[in-house]
């Protein structure tokens, strides 16, 4: 969500736009973060902190823009699906082979992740 929202609200926008976009975007972030299952105050705090860092980064580096297409996925995941994992059938510590397989899968995900997957011109 942090990368996706970069450049949506930035310091160079007219004041009328900022007065509309800032509350609307913070509410959107709040709705996306409700899937975390936290109390409403913590969810609001996370939304405000993410917005503040996005705004400061966009203000400090005006050319930095995220890929807003990820906002749709963040909303679907956070609001509709949720991020709580169901309990597994076997609750025992992982052995070395399974830990190694998990790290390999994480490395493959990081290598193959695309920040801007679809770009139409």
What rounded mean pLDDT belongs to the chain? 87
Give me the pLDDT at residue 21, please: 85
As a whole number, mean pLDDT of residues 109-116 equals 86
What gap in Å lies between CA 59 and CA 67, rounded to an integer?
17
pLDDT at residue 83 is higher than 80: no
- What pTM did the predictor assign? 0.75
């Amino acid at each position: 969500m942090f990368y996706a929202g970069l450049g949506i609200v930035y310091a160079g926008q007219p004041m009328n736009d900022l007065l509309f976009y800032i509350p609307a975007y913070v509410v959107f972030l709040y709705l996306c973060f409700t899937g975390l299952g936290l109390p409403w105050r913590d969810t609001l705090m996370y939304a405000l902190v993410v917005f503040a860092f996005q705004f400061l980064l966009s203000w400090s580096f005006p050319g930095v823009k995220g890929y807003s297409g990820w906002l749709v996925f963040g909303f679907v995941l956070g609001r509709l699906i949720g991020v709580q994992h169901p309990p597994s059938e076997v609750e025992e510590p992982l052995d070395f082979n399974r830990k190694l397989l998990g790290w390999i899968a994480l490395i493959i995900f990081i290598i193959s992740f695309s920040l801007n997957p679809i770009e139409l011109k």
